[in-house]
Structure formats: C-alpha cells, structure tokens
A and B are shown apart, each in its own frame.
Chain A
Amino acid sequence: MERPAWAPRSIDISMPSVARMYDYYLGGSHNFEVDREAARRAMEFVPGLPKIMQANRAFMRRAVRHAARAGITQFLDIGSGIPSFGNVHEVAREAAPGARVVYVDHDPVAVAHTQAVLEGADDADVVAADLRKPRDVLTSPQVERLIDLNRPVALLLVAILHFVEDTDDPYGAVAELRDALAPGSVLVVSHASYEGIPLPRERVEGAVDVYKDIRNPLIMRSRDEIARFFEGYDMVEPGLVPMAKWRPDTAPEDEDPYAFSGFAGVGTKA
C-alpha cells in the first residue's frame, strides 16, 4: 500500500541501508550487522567497492575545492548519507571560509546522525527530503535559511542518481533543481556504470543484484545517459570522465584500477 503523505516512513534497522553500507566500505563503524552483511556480499562480486567509494570521495573533495576556487560558498549536497570524514562542510570550510552547506537525505537514521554531527553549527544543516521531490528540498526551511538561490550554488549529486529508477523521473528532478539555480552555479555528479570497472559485467551484475535484494536497486547508466543530467550546463574540463581522471592530483599509475569505475563530471550554469 502506498504510504500516505502524513505518515512518517517507518524505520526498520533490520533492513540494510545504502548510507550505512557506504560508511562500512569507507572503514567506518556507523553501521549494523545487516549493513555489513549486505556490503560483504556485494564485495564478494566486486572486491574493489571500498576503492570505488574512496575514489568517489576523493572526486567529491576535488570538485568541492574546484567550486570554492570558482568563488562558490553555498553547497547543497543531496544524498549526503552518513558523514564520517572528509565531508563537504569540512572540505568547503577549508577551501572557502564562511561556506554554507545543506545536506539532504531521505534515510532518517542518516539524517538523525547528521543532525548530531552538526549540532551547534550555524553554517550547516540537514533536510530530511527526497531527491525525487525537488520542491521539498528547495522550499525547506533549512535551504531557505542557509542558501540564497539568487547566488551561485554547488549542487552535489554524488553517488546518488544511480539509486533513482527511471520510473521516478530522475532527469525531471535534476532539471527542476538545475532550473532553480542561479547562473554561475555548478552541478557535481558521480554515477555508477558498467563502463570502466576492471571486472567482467556478470561479476558487477552480482553486486547490482545485492542492491536489488535490499530494495535499493542500483541503476547502472551509460556515459551518454549520465551526460543528460547536465543538459543546458557547460561541462568543466575534462568533461564527464572516469572518477580518477577528473582533475586528478595523483598520477594515474598510483591509482587503484577501481578508481576508474563509473563517471564523474562538473557542469556550470552559464
């Protein structure tokens, strides 16, 4: 039965959560056995998952620094998950003093945890909302308090769009967000793909099936499909590329082969 709008989503910590699995991949302990169990099963197919997550994290760090260098001081991170280390607000503060950050997630545990982490911070906040309902995000009191949509914003959709199925119209949602941003804003996207992973496709499909089992399907998209999320934005050099190739500060030969999985890119609104 469809959940009515007024009823809060129930919390079942006996079900794995992708946010807590992500934390586990990154060596954190913000997770429960169900999360670890699911993550371990996925890693049986793709052992390099932690490396992929790390590369993803590193890309985000570089992208945030890029945005800060471009003069952006407002950050909207949708699908922020459980902040363990190297979070947007840490990186942003370091690169752009006075930066303001709003995190958005629809996992109530992740939101509660973020609230605890951010306690006392005036320049960062978290919204319990769903990427599939951009209006909820844009009109939230937190966004209204911290973000001036008339000035450039860095919108981070890092490792989140591959959890939105086509039937939920991710392109429409992203378009609505893009349209709400002021010129000079940047869109930061990283996305899973069968392209680039140093494994046969069947192996990767095994991991994809694990996510299907935990009712959080992982939608693998092609480079062209991912590029469509940037419609109307100008791609920043080097364009949409494997994560480790986006403005790397590590020599490619030093990178783990898994760091070239998926695609990452940054677009700017003219």
Chain B
Amino acid sequence: MSAEPDGPEDRLRRFATIWSRAVFPATSTSLTRPEFEELLLPLARRLSEALRARTYDAEEGRAVGAALVEAHCTEPEALSSALDCVDAYLVLYCGGDGHQEDLRARAARLQSAMAAGYAEALRQRTLTEQEAIARAALEAQGAVARALHATEARFRAVFEGAAIGIGIADLDGNILQVNGALLRMFGVTEQARLARCVTEWTHPEDAPQVWRLYEELVRAEREHYHTEKAFYRPDGTVLWTNLTVSLLRDADGNPQYQLALMEDTTERRLLNLRLRYEATHDALTGLPNRTLFFERLEKALAAGDGQRFGLCYLDLDGFKAINDSLGHAAGDRLLVEIADRLQSCATAPGEMVARLGGDEFVALTTGPDTESEVDDLADRIMNALVTPVRIDGRELLVRGSIGIVEGPAGERGPAEVLRSADITMYRAKSAGGNRYEVADAEADARAITRHGLTTALPAALDRGEFFIEYQPLVHLGDGTVRGAEALVRWLHPQHGVLGPDRFIPLAERTGLIVPLGRWVLEQSVRQAREWQQRHGGRGPLRVNVNLSPCQLTHPGLVQDTVEILERAGLEPDALCLEVTESALIGADDDLLKPLRRLAEMGIDIALDDFGTGYSNLANLRRLPVRVLKLDRSFTQGMQQFPADPVDLKIVEGIVSLAHSLDLAVTVEGVETGAQAEQLRILGCDTAQGWYYARPGPPERLHELALVDATG
C-alpha cells in the first residue's frame, strides 16, 4: 500500500502507531510492540472507514472493541487508553476534510460502540474462560473421585480377600470392622459373635508386655507393635496368632484408629512343638536326646554362684553281644526297658536322664548339693540295673559302667564335661565294668594325651617322625655281638622321644601297626644288610624285629616279609621275628601257618616275654619257634648277690627244657657282670641289656661289633 507522506495511508499508519504506543503498556500480549501495531493497523483502518462512511454502522465499532479483547487488551486501562487515543487522534489523522462537527459526533458514537463491543467480548471471554476452568476443575475432581472409587473398591477387595485377619478398632478399643479372614480364624460367621472391645481379648498366655504395648499404642506413644498372642475362640478353643498392631493417624497426624493384622499360627505352633519334641527326644525310648541334654547341661554349667552339677555317664556292658546274639529288636526292647528304669531314677527337680545314642545314657543332677546327690544317683542307677530284664522269655543280666563328673557351675564347658565323663566311664569299663568311677583330672589328662597321640599317629608316619634304635645281642659264650633288636621310637614334636610302650598299643588299636610294623621291618632289614656289608666276613650280624599280634593276623605278612628281604638282598636267616607268648596263646593252625612259612624260609621266630603269661610248655612243641626270650623278671633276681636260688633253678630248668627242644635261649635285662656270668653258667646262649649297651643308633652297634672283632 502506498504511503505517500502525509497521504491518507501515512496518516492512518501514524494513528496506528500512536494507538499501539498508548495501548501496548496495558496489554498482556506477548507480542512485541511493532507486532502489536501490525495487529492494530486493520482495526485502525476499520475505524477510519467507519468514521468517514456515509451511514453510521455501530457494528464496526463493536467489532473493533471485540478485536481488542481478542488481542489480550483485557485490562480496563487498555480500553480507556484505546478510547482516549481514538478520541484524541482518530478525527485528527483519519477525518480527512470532512465536517469536523459531524466527524466528532461520529467518533464519539464509534467510541461508545467500541466500549460496548469490548465489554460484550470481554464478558463472553470471561464467561468462556470461567466455564473452561470450572469444567477443568470438575473434570480433574471427577478423575480423582473415579480413582478414589477404584482405590476404595480395590481396598475393599484387599480387605475382604486378604488371607490374614484384619481388624480396625478405635482408640478406646471398640472393634469397628473385621474382615472375613479374621472371622474364620475365630470360627464365627459374623462380627456380633466376637468381643466388642479389644481389651476383652485377654488370654492367660499373654506375654507380660502385650498389654503394656497396647496401652502405649492407644496413647499414641508408639506407632506399632508386633507380638505372638493367643485368643480364646467363642467355642473355647485357642487361636494362636502373629499379631501386628499399628496406630492409624489422620492427614494431620492425629491418632485415630488402631489396625490389627493377624496371622493364624495355631497349626504352625503345634507343628513346631511337635518338631521341637522330635528334635529333642529319642524316638526309641522317648528320653530326651543329645540335643536337649546339651541344652540342659549348658544351662546347668552357666548357672550362677553356688550352683553345681553332677553327671553320670552310663554305658551298658556287653550290649553289643546281646544285640549280636538276640538281634536288634531284642536289643531295642532292652534299651526301652533300661530307659524306663533310668527315668525312674531321676525324678527330682533339676534331674534328667537322656539317651546319647546306642547304649549310652546320661543322668544329670543340678543344684547346690550335687556333691552327695550324684553318688546317690549313680547308686540308684546301679540298683536299677540289678534286676534282670526279661526279653523273649530270657532273663538278661544287664550291667553298666558309669563315669561320674561333679563340680561347680561356671568352670567348664559341656563338651569338656562330657569328655571327662566318657573317659571316666571307660576307666570303669577297663577296670572290669559293673561299677562307677569318679573323674579325676590326672586320669583325664592321661586319656587326653593318649587320644592326642592316637590321632597324631598316621601323620607322624607320613612325616617320618619315627626312628629305630638298636640294642645289641651278645653271645654269652664268647662275648661277641651277634646282632641287635630293633626298637622303634617316636620323636613327637611336642612330647619329645616316646618309647614303644606309649604308642604301640594305640597303633594296635587303630590298625596303624600294620604300616608302622612294615616300615620298621624295612628299615631294620636294610640296616642289617648294611652291617653285613661293612662287617665283612666276620659272621653275619642279625636283626631282631618285633611282630605285633595285629601283624600276625594280617594276610600280607609273609608276602611283605619276603619282598622286603629280597629288595634289601638280605638272607632270611639274618632276620629273627619276635612274637609275644601271649599273642600265641590258644593260637590255632590258621594263625600259625604264616609263622611256619616264615620259619621254613629260614627266618628265626623268637618267643618274646617268655614266662610272663600262662606258659604252656606242651604248646612249645607245636610252635615254629627257634628262640625263647626269657622275660627280664627272671633275671632281676640275679642282680643281687647271692642270686635268688629259686630264680636260678627256674632259669636252669627252662634252659634245659629249651635246649632239649632245640631252642636257643636269650635273656633280657642283663645289667651287671655278675648277672651275665651267672646266666652264662646256666647255659643261656645270648643276652641283651644295659650291661652291654643301651639301645642306640645303628652306628653304635657297628662300633661295638668292631670292638669285639679286634678285642
């Protein structure tokens, strides 16, 4: 559009500029002022045209007024600025050359129409917006209400469908609402049959704190509590529950209700009681078992000052024989009968009897006076066993060995006490059984050492803690060294060097004697071979090796021995195996067969410790024995001067007998020259003892032999 300076168009634009400058500060538009001016320009044109139109059209003014509202000129100042501006400048800039008076009148009418149009539009707009926001608020509230309704419906479903019991009460305890699960727990179908008030729900087994916690909760001093609680059902039976009670507060935090959630634990509780009983009682006898006994013992040992305990550890003598001969069923019946009798022995408070397993029982007494009570208890137990037990028409005589431990509480742990009782019981058993022994620390210590050694044995063999010493065997006729007895030692890391008496019986019991014995044989045979090589042609040096009863019955004995000799390259006649007389008492042919095989190969068999057992002289004939080793007890009588004549006679007799059976005689324990001389006169062949040499390392023997040869 052309805008010739000061032409009508230019003047219209100038009016629009003035108008926009006047109105813009009062608008809320986010348009810039020039943009706003562009918006006003068409409105200015309409006004300009309406001003000069032949007929007055109020609609034009109204439309411009409404358009101002449309342009966000909604503040009242916007209207007044707009009208002031029209009043002052419309005629001036847009009136052209019309009649001033008419133009002024037309402008005034246009302003009125503008105001009316503005007011109408603003009213419409306000109403529309008010309606819109009200509808939005309603819609939002409706959405909330729908969500709340859905939530409430969900809640109701949760409340009614929950597997746990839910109850709501006010803070006075009045029960307001309970759910179906809770009714079912109480075995009723309607709430009216329940207590009206929470405080009526007492039960004798209520824990002392339950109602204190309740009071604290309703006074809002605590938010919730959890407890196990029993209730009476209307039918009188007991309902056990896991109960959680919470305080419910309103939106402002004021306490309002109490909410109880309860889980029925009646069944579980019964099951627990049963499981607990089963876990703590012996199924066969119904007596408390090891677990329960240990709990009680622990409690007794943890008791305070002045409290003592007494324990009887009973093991039946020969029960295995009964089981083996009459069968396990009979054995079980016997145990049940014994259990009943024992039970009647320990009926006082603080006393209990338990079965630890097998035929082992314990009786416990506690209190301040167990020192005397425990002996009475042991007496009652021994008495209870006196009457024979009748099983399958047989009268079985039952005996037992009891180990007693008694002492003050607070000093020892249950394991230590029980071990002491066990050790003591074994002492009673090894003393022949059918008796009780009282624990003493020294015996315990010995047993404990023995136990320690037993368990350390296998590792000791692997670690090479064993070594061998040799004690020379000297020919009484010419005093030459003819060989040596191999004696095994244990260099124990804590206890130092231990003699065979300390560990051979343990090795026998555990079976370790077999590998240990084989090792001793290997070492000794290799040593004998070495002596032979170094000793040259001056007659063979023999080696004596002890065979334990266990080795005798071991099926690999012959094979092992042959292999060991062959591997070392030693002639069989350079080896003498020593067997104790007691090991061969009552030996049958099966037992003697390996010995015979060994003897046939040329290995000498010596009968060790001869004269200590019931020497069956007639038996000697049967045995594949070449040497008798006379026990040191015979030579002890010859240490003094003059020698005991009876001893002399006995030794003389044995030597004569041996020689007549073609057996050589070796004597042990020769400690003096007089003794040696005496024995030589009596005809003994070989001797060993401190008089000649103590057991020592293999080199010593070599030296002694050399001395013989040169001296």
Task: Say whether B28 contacts A20, CB under 8 Å.
Answer: no
CB distance from A56 to the nearest CB of B (A): 9
- Name the residue on B nearest A30 (C-beta): B133
Across the interface, which residues of B come within 8 angstroms of A50, CB to CB? Answer: 28
Residues in A21-66 with C-beta less than 8 Å from chain B = 23, 25-32, 50, 54, 57-58, 60-61
Q: Is A96 located at the chain interface by the 8 A CB criterion?
A: no
Q: A109-B136, A112-B137, A256-B25 are in contact. Are A54 and B74 (CB under 8 A)?
A: no
CA A112 – CA B135 in complex, angstroms? 8
Task: Determine whether A139 belongs to the interface, using a CB cutoff of 8 Å to chain B.
Answer: no
Q: Which of B34, B132, B251 contacts A113 (CB 8 A)?
A: B132
In angstroms, how far is the closest chain A Cβ from the Cβ of B82? 14
Q: How far is the CA of A209 from the CA of B25 in the complex (A)?
A: 28
Residues from chain A with Cβ under 8 Å of B72 in the complex: 26-27, 85
Interface 1/0 per residue, A163-191 and B, CB below 8 Å: 00000000000000000000000000000
Most interface-central of B25, B28, B29, B132 (chain A CB within 10 A): B28
Q: Is the CB of B75 within 8 A of A27?
A: yes
Closest Cβ of chain A: how far from B153's Cβ, in Å?
Answer: 12
- Mask: chain A, 1-26; 1 = CB below 8 Å from B; 0 = not: 10000111111010000001001011
Q: Give residues of chain B (18-33) contacting chain A, Cβ–Cβ below 8 Å.
A: 25, 27-33
Residues of A within 8 A of B33 (CB): 250, 254
Pairwise interchain contact A116-B132, C-beta atoms closer than 8 A: yes
| List of A residues within 8 angstroms of B136 by Cβ | 30, 109-110, 112-113, 115-116
Which residues 120-165 of B sit at the A interface, judged by CB distance below 8 A?
A: 125-126, 129-130, 132-133, 135-137, 139-141, 143-144, 147-148, 151
- Are A29 and B148 closer than 8 Å at their CB atoms? no
A residues less than 8 Å from B132 (CB atoms) = 30, 113, 116
Residues of B within 8 A of A196 (CB): none
Chain B residues contacting A250 (CB-CB under 8 Å) are: 32-34
State whether the Cβ of A108 lies closer than 8 Å to any Cβ in chain B. yes
Give the chain B neighbours of A27 by CB distance below 8 A.
Answer: 27-28, 72, 74-75
User: How far does the Cβ of A53 sit from chain B's closest Cβ, in whole Å?
Assistant: 8
Residues of A with C-beta under 8 A to B140: 11, 108-109, 111-112
Q: Is the CB of B28 within 8 A of A29?
A: no
List the B side residues contacting A116 at CB < 8 Å. Answer: 132, 135-136, 139
Tell me if A82 is interfacial: C-beta within 8 Å of chain B. Answer: yes
Cβ of A86 within 8 Å of any chain B Cβ, yes or no, is: yes
> Does B253 lie at the interface of the complex (its beta carbon under 8 Å from any beta carbon of A)?
yes
Per the bound structure, the CA–CA distance linking A249 and B34 in Å amounts to 9
Q: How far is the CA of A84 from the CA of B72 in the complex (A)?
A: 10
A84 → chain B, closest Cβ, in Å?
A: 8
Which residues of B sit under 8 angstroms from A86, Cβ to Cβ? 29-31
Cα A237 to Cα B32 with chains together (Å): 20
Residues of B within 8 A of A7 (CB): 147-148, 151
A108 contacts across to B, CB distance below 8 A: 140, 143-144
Closest to B144 in A: A8
In-complex Cβ contact of A26 among B28, B34, B130 (8 A): B28
Residues of B within 8 A of A84 (CB): 129
Is B249 an interface residue when CB atoms closer than 8 A count as contact?
yes
Find A57's partner among B30, B126, B129, B151 (CB 8 Å cutoff): B30
**Chain B 214-254 near chain A by CB (<8 Å), digits 1 or 0:** 00000000000000000000000000000000000111010
Give a binary string over A110-122; 1 marks a CB under 8 Å from any B CB, 0 the rest. Answer: 1111011000000
For A58, what are the chain B residues with a Cβ–Cβ distance below 8 Å? 30-32
**A residues less than 8 Å from B143 (CB atoms):** 8, 108, 112
For the complex formed, measure the closest distance between the CB of B681 and the CB atoms of chain A, giving whole angstroms.
Answer: 112
A contact residues around B30 at 8 Å (CB): 54, 57-58, 60-61, 85-86
Q: Is the CB of B147 within 8 A of A29?
A: no
Chain A residues near B148: list those with CB within 8 A. Answer: 7-8
**Nearest residue, chain A, Cβ from B139:** A112
CA of A10 to CA of B141, assembled, Å? 8
CB distance from A8 to the nearest CB of B (A): 4
The SS class assigned to the B binding surface is helix
Chain A residues, Cβ within 8 Å of B25: 256
A1 touches B251 (CB 8 A): yes
Considering only residues 508-550 of chain B, those with a C-beta below 8 Å from chain A are none
In Å, the complex CA distance between A109 and B34 comes to 35
Please indicate the chain A residues that have their CB under 8 angstroms from the CB of B74 in the complex: 27-28
B57-87: CB near A (< 8 Å → 1, else 0) gives: 0000000000000001011000000000000
Residue contact B253 to A113, C-beta cutoff 8 Å: no
Residues of A within 8 A of B28 (CB): 25-28, 50, 54
Measured CB to CB, the closest approach of chain B to A181, in angstroms, equals: 26
CA distance A250 to B35 in the complex (A): 10
Cα A25 to Cα B72 in complex, Å, equals: 12
Cα–Cα, bound, A25→B483 (Å): 126
- B253: chain A residues at CB < 8 Å are 1
- Closest CB in chain A relative to B468 CB, distance in Å: 81
Residues in B whose Cβ lies below 8 Å from that of A113: 132-133, 136
B367 to A: closest C-beta gap in Å? 57
Q: Which residues of A contact B29 (CB under 8 A)?
A: 54, 85-86
Question: Would you call A109 and B32 a contact (CB within 8 A)?
Answer: no
Closest chain B CB from A36 CB (angstroms): 12
CB of A29 within 8 A of CB of B151, answer no
A11, B141: Cβ atoms closer than 8 Å? yes
- In angstroms, Cα B30 to Cα A60, docked, is 9
Which residue of A8, A11, A60, A254 is within 8 Å of B137 (Cβ)?
Answer: A11
**Chain B proximity of A54: nearest CB distance (Å):** 6
Is B137 a contact partner of A28 (Cβ separation < 8 A)? no
Q: Are A82 and B133 in contact (CB under 8 A)?
A: yes
B 623-660 binary contact with A (CB < 8 Å = 1; else 0): 00000000000000000000000000000000000000
The residue among B31, B129, B136, B250 with the most chain A CB atoms within 10 A of its own CB is: B136
Question: Which residues in window 79-130 of A have CB below 8 A to B?
Answer: 82, 84-86, 108-113, 115-116
The interface centre, meaning the residue of B74, B129, B251 with most chain A CB atoms within 10 A of its CB, is B129
Cα distance A196–B129 in the bound complex, in angstroms: 33
* Chain A residues within 8 Å of B249, by CB: 1
Across-interface contacts of B126 in A (CB, < 8 A): 29
Shortest CB–CB separation between residue A121 and chain B, in angstroms?
16
Cα-based distance from A31 to B144 in the complex (angstroms) = 20
- Closest chain-A Cβ to B143's Cβ sits at a distance in Å of 7
| Interface contact B137-A109, CB-CB below 8 Å | yes
Give Cα A61–Cα B249 distance, bound, in whole angstroms: 48
State A10–B25 Cα separation when bound (angstroms): 39
Query: Which residues from B are CB-within-8-Å of A20?
Result: 133
A249-B137 CB under 8 A given contacts A1-B249, A8-B143: no
A254 to B129, CA, bound (A): 31
A28 touches B129 (CB 8 A): yes
Instruction: Give A54 to B151 CA distance when docked, in angstroms.
Output: 41
**How close is A185's CB to chain B, nearest CB, in angstroms?**
24
A32–B144 contact, CB under 8 A?
no
Q: How far is the CA of A109 from the CA of B135 in the complex (A)?
A: 9
Instruction: Tell whether, in the assembled complex, residue A11 and residue B144 are in contact, meaning their CB atoms are under 8 Å apart.
Output: yes
CA distance A14 to B151 in the complex (A): 24
Q: Contacts A85-B30, A250-B32; is A31 near B133 (CB within 8 Å)?
A: yes
Q: How far is the CA of A28 from the CA of B75 in the complex (A)?
A: 10
The 10 closest A-B pairs by CB, nearest first: A113-B136, A27-B28, A29-B129, A108-B140, A112-B136, A57-B30, A27-B74, A8-B147, A30-B133, A112-B139
Task: Give 12 A-B pairs besides A30-B129, A112-B135 with Cβ atoms closer than 8 angstroms.
Answer: A1-B253, A13-B137, A25-B28, A27-B72, A28-B28, A30-B136, A54-B30, A84-B129, A108-B140, A110-B136, A112-B136, A116-B132
A to B CB contacts below 8 Å, 12 in the list: A8-B147, A11-B141, A28-B28, A29-B126, A30-B130, A58-B32, A61-B30, A86-B30, A112-B137, A112-B140, A113-B132, A116-B135
A residues touching B (Cβ–Cβ < 8 Å)? 1, 6-11, 13, 20, 23, 25-32, 50, 54, 57-58, 60-61, 82, 84-86, 108-113, 115-116, 249-250, 254, 256
Q: Which residues in B have some Cβ–Cβ distance to A below 8 Å? A: 25, 27-34, 72, 74-75, 125-126, 129-130, 132-133, 135-137, 139-141, 143-144, 147-148, 151, 249-251, 253
